[in-house]
Amino acid sequence: MTGGHLLDRYIGFRFLRMIGMAVLSFVVIFVSVDAFDHFSRWVDRDVSVEVFLKYYFYGLPYIVVLVLPIAVLLSSLFLVSSLARKNELVAIRAAGVSIPRIFMPLLVIGLIISIFELAVGDFVVADSLYRQSIVKRVEIDGGDPIDYSRRSNFAHRSLDGSIFEIGFFDGKTSVMSNVSMEWLDDSARVTRRIDAVRMSWIDSVWVATGAASRQFGPSGEVVYTWTDTLLMPGVSDLPEDFGSRQKSPDEMNFFELSEHIDRVRAAGGDVRGDLVELYLTILFPLSNLIMILVGAPLATRNPRSGRSISIGIAIFLAFLFFSLLRFGQTLGHKGAIPPLLAASLADMIFVVIGGFLLWRTTRR
């Protein structure tokens, strides 16, 4: 085995061990703080240990994915600082190994983590969040399991953004009764309302019976019409959409969210926010690699700094990264910037910072 491979194994194994310890520590802290914050609620609802463990077991994948970039950043800072303090970094460079070559095993591990999270994490996290929400609603809050095939008195947000208020839905016959539908503009003003005694799914289109339609003009005028039978081709939601729990974007995997976006777009709805979340499912895992690109060169700037300094730097950079991530999300959801730019804003800024730090390090 060559010296280069021995060096890669030495650095790689230390890096992986540090990441594992950091993730475990962050998970314990996250769960402890969250459990303590909800302690009175657990006691009031007489939550059993089994339900408690089940709730956080389903939440574990999301917590790991959330803290993993911070753990990678902190581990890269600790590892490179440790190599520098013990003069190992000087010895390695004296042997003719360049800084980018020293960082190579870290970057490879970061890339593997990013690919694994991209390929597996999205599906695991989406499903676990959905299951966690079921445990919270049924086993913690004491709600009854909902039979979505027969539901009464519930609201539904349509694919085009309209709001349904439904008195009763029978999924076996695909019939709804006592239905109210409202369409809103960008300022949340109701522009149209339809009240129907009954809506039925007939020949792949919704048909409203006893429909009273009101069209609201910008200056307050109202146009009222009554129709015995009204075809509703603009309502693109299928019966199964009303007969199933609507998942949030966080609870959808990449393919579910892609299909949802296609249907919302076909219905004329606003897909900007959903597109931001879709791009984030691809771009957020890359933050693990980007954190190494920033953390490793940064640790060489002040090699004698202690662990407390490294922790402080990691916390600051993590706060900056997630602030930029949330800022981009907000701008993307509001349509101020394109969805792809909104989802990649934090990554792009940190890539620039990391590239500059790496360039400065190689020039020393």
> Which residues touch 244 (CB under 8 Å, ≥6 apart)?
148
Of the segments 58-67, 84-93, 182-191, 237-246, which one has the largest average pLDDT value? 58-67
How large is the average pLDDT for residues 106-111? 92
pLDDT value at position 102?
84
* Between 181 and 314, the higher pLDDT residue: 181
Q: What is the pLDDT of residue 364?
A: 59
Q: For residue 207, is pLDDT > 90?
A: yes
| pLDDT number for residue 269 | 74
Residue 13 scores a pLDDT above 90: yes
For 237-276, b/e burial (b = at least 16 CB within 10 A) is bebeebbeeebebebbbeeebeebbebbeebebebbbbbb
Instruction: Flag whether pLDDT at 327 surpasses 90.
Output: yes
Q: What 3-state DSSP class applies to 1?
A: coil
pLDDT score at 213: 92
Residue that has been written with the tokens 């959409």 in this structure = 241
Can you give the pLDDT at residue 346? 93
Q: What is the mean pLDDT of residues 185-195?
A: 85
* pLDDT tens string 119-158: 777 778 878 888 888 888 777 776 656 556 778 888 888 8
Query: What's the confidence (pLDDT) of residue 176?
Result: 92
Detail the DSSP E strand segments found in the chain. Answer: 150-157, 163-170, 175-184, 190-202, 205-216, 222-232
Query: What are phi and psi for residue 281, nearest 5 degrees?
Result: -65, -25
**pLDDT band, residue 3 (cuts 50/70/90):** low
* 3-state DSSP assignment of residue 145: coil
Q: What is the mean pLDDT of residues 249-265?
A: 80
pLDDT for residue 305 is more than 70 = no
pLDDT of residue 145: 60
217-254 pLDDT, tens digit each = 887 788 899 999 999 888 888 888 887 666 777 777 78
Distance CA(361)–CA(184), nearest Å, equals: 55
Rounded to a whole number of angstroms, the distance between the first and last alpha carbons of the chain is 30
Phi, psi (rounded to 5 degrees) for 225: -140, 150
Query: Are 342 and 332 a contacting pair, CB within 8 Å?
Result: yes
Contact 122/281 with Cβ under 8 angstroms? yes
Give me the mean pLDDT over the 196-213 stretch.
Answer: 92
pLDDT of residue 252: 79
Mean confidence (pLDDT) of the chain: 84
pLDDT, tens digit, for every residue of 38-68? Answer: 888 777 778 788 888 888 899 898 899 889 9
Cα Rg, the chain, nearest whole Å: 27
Name the β-bridge partners of 176. Answer: 169, 199
| Average confidence (pLDDT) over 322-347 | 92
Q: Is the pTM of this model over 0.85?
A: no
Question: How many angstroms separate the Cα of 274 from the Cα of each of 200, 239, 251?
Answer: 29, 22, 12
And the tokens for 132? 């966690």
Determine the pLDDT at residue 153.
86
Query: Does residue 1 carry a pLDDT above 60?
Result: no
User: Binning pLDDT at 50, 70 and 90, where does residue 212 land?
Assistant: very high
Q: Is the pLDDT of residue 306 over 60?
A: no
Residue 145 Cα distances to 67, 129, 205, 304, angstroms:
32, 17, 30, 58
